[in-house]
Each structure stands twice: as C-alpha cells, then as structure tokens.
C-alpha cells in the first residue's frame, strides 16, 4: 500500500467556459466535482497504475461528506481520512476552452484544533507499518503547525518508510531539513527555497539542505533530478496543451510508483514526465490520458549521468 497525506483535502470543482473574461457573466458548459487536494490526486493516479493507495488527512462538514462519498467510488483508493469539526475547503478551477488556460481559486481550509492534530498524528503512525512509501502533499490548513511536515517526515523515516515531500514555503523549508527521501518542488517553489533561479544550482542547493533527492518540475520543459545516484534531465518530446492542474501530482505518482517498483532513476523520470504530460490532456486533476501516456513512455528524452561509485 502507498500512503498519501493530504492535510488540506478539498472538493475540486471544475467549470468549463467558452472564453473567460474579467467583469463579465459566463455560461458554464460543464461542471465536474472530484475529491481533491494534491495527495488525493496522487492516490487516484497511483490506483490507475495498479497500486493500492490509502488517503489520509482531514475532512469535515457537508463538503467533507461529499468528498468521502466521491472517494468511495474510486477503485483502488482507501479512505483513512480523519474527521474535524470545520468544513473541508473547495477549490474552483475555471477552464477557458478557447485558450486552454485555467484560473484557480483555492479556499484556505478548516481550522484544525490541537486535539484534532494529535488524532491525525496517531492515525498516521498506525498506517505507516502497512505502507511501502508515503507522499506528504500540499498546503497546511489553519491551525496545523508550520513544522508539521518535518515531524511527519521524521516519523516515516523512523518507521523505515520512504517519504516524498511536495509542499511549498516555510513548510517546505522546515520539511527538507528533516531529510525526506525526495522533494518535488516546481521552479517557483525551488527559487523561494534557495534564492536561486538557475535550475541546476537551485536543485543542488536544495539537496544540500537535507533531501536525499530533489526532482524539480520545470513545467513544459520536464523534470530535473539531483540524487545520490546521479543527476538527470527528462524532457517530453512536445509541449502538450490543456489543463495543467494536477500535472505535478501525476509526476509525484510516477516517482513514488517507481520507488516501490525499484525502477532506476531514469525510468522513474520517464514515467513521471509521461504521466505529467498525459494529465494535461485529461479534463480534471487526478486523471491522465492513457493513450498519450503510453505513447510518450517511449519518447521522453533523458540526459545526464550516474555518480561515480
């Protein structure tokens, strides 16, 4: 089982409009609702790849009930969410069908009490012995300590479970110091962490801060990985147009599935890039176009070198 942690779960609502214009009324052509949050998206992709996934984090209120009802219908994904008194947030994505651009509106999430945070930590520790790997994903809801991910990383490492961290800001800064096996920042998150906008320099600096491996997401330019085993760049053959929401989550699923399947780093990166590009062509986050994915697996370019023994 692969465990994904989404402390700030969400009900993802996607609106499609013909053309998005500020200060105007719009007729929505399609509405889609999905259980969301980064770790939930990761779990859905992992399940589609054939892995058993368990989702934990917080859920509450009427929105939380809808999230759990929808999650129950996802094959291969188990619900281990922890209840809170506050209401689960909603995220709104508005897709402009003419341009393919997406406008995102993210609510902050429920206030989590110290008692609720303690209950989650106990549930997390109980789940780890059954996990082959864990992904810690997304933002922190109000009330959760800013060093929460650092503590969860240390708990996973104590249990001997490989841990991937995908967050941003101060939560990432503190989390990387706890020495996660992998971090997956995007270019902006990496620059914020290190102060450098040069990808290779920033990735190397992030690894020196404690991560076992740093896989930087460079958008349509693919992934850059600096690891103990070497460094590589994986690039898709073409730029894919569509909805980029969730592309990074698909990349996380590719990396994490590669860890538990003991793939080489180049093969992990190929899978992650192919999944990320294929998810851009899917209508909502947490899904990917399988035809595109399978076609891209043989066309992703990987350059780089392994470290000297």
From 96, 249, 267, 289, the catalytic residue: 249
> Measured between alpha carbons, how far is residue 207 from residues 185, 200, 211, 228 in Å?
11, 11, 5, 9
Q: In the beta sheet, which residues pair with residue 224?
A: 216, 233
DSSP output for 83-132: E-SSPPEEEEEEEETTT--EEEEE---PPPPHHHHHHHHHHHHHHGGG-S
Integer Cα distance of 22 and 12 in angstroms? 22
40 alpha-carbon distance from chain centroid: 8
3-state secondary structure labels for all residues of 221-274: HCEEEECCCEEEEEECCCCCCCCCCCHHHHHHHHHHHHHHCCCCHHHHHHHHHH
For helices 290-297 and 265-280, angle between their N-to-C axes, nearest 10 degrees: 150
Q: In the beta sheet, which residues pair with residue 95?
A: 16, 102
Check if 249 is active-site: yes
> Measured between alpha carbons, how far is residue 15 from residues 62, 97, 105, 161 in Å?
20, 10, 11, 38
Is 79 in a helix, a strand, or coil? strand
Looking at the annotation, which residues are catalytic? 249
């Amino acid at each position: 089982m692969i465990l994904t942690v989404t402390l700030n779960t969400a009900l993802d609502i996607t609106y499609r409009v013909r053309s998005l214009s500020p200060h105007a009324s719009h007729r929505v052509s399609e509405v889609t609702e999905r259980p969301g949050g980064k770790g939930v998206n990761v779990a859905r992709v992992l399940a589609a790849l054939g892995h058993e996934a368990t989702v934990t984090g917080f859920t509450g209120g009427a929105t939380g009930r809808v999230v759990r009802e929808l999650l129950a219908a996802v094959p291969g994904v188990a619900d281990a969410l922890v209840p809170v008194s506050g209401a689960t947030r909603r995220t709104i994505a508005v897709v402009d069908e003419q341009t393919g651009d997406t406008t995102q509106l993210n609510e902050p999430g429920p206030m989590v009490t110290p008692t609720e945070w303690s209950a989650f930590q106990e549930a997390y520790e109980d789940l780890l012995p059954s996990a082959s790997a864990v992904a810690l994903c997304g933002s922190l809801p109000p009330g959760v300590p800013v060093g929460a991910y650092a503590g969860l990383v240390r708990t996973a490492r104590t249990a001997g479970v490989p841990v991937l961290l995908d967050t941003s800001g101060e939560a990432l800064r503190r989390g990387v110091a706890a020495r996660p096996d992998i971090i997956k920042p995007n270019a902006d998150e990496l620059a914020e962490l290190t102060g450098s906008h040069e990808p290779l320099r920033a990735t190397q600096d992030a690894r020196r801060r404690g991560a076992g491996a740093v896989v930087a997401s460079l958008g349509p330019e693919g992934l850059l990985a600096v690891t103990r085993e070497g460094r590589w760049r994986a690039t898709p053959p073409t730029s894919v147009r569509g909805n980029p929401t969730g592309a990074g989550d698909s990349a996380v699923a590719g990396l994490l599935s590669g860890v538990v399947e003991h793939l080489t780093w180049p093969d992990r990166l190929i899978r992650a890039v192919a999944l990320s590009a294929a998810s851009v062509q899917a209508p909502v986050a947490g899904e990917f176009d399988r035809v595109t994915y399978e076609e891209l697996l043989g066309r992703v370019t990987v350059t780089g070198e392994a470290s000297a023994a």
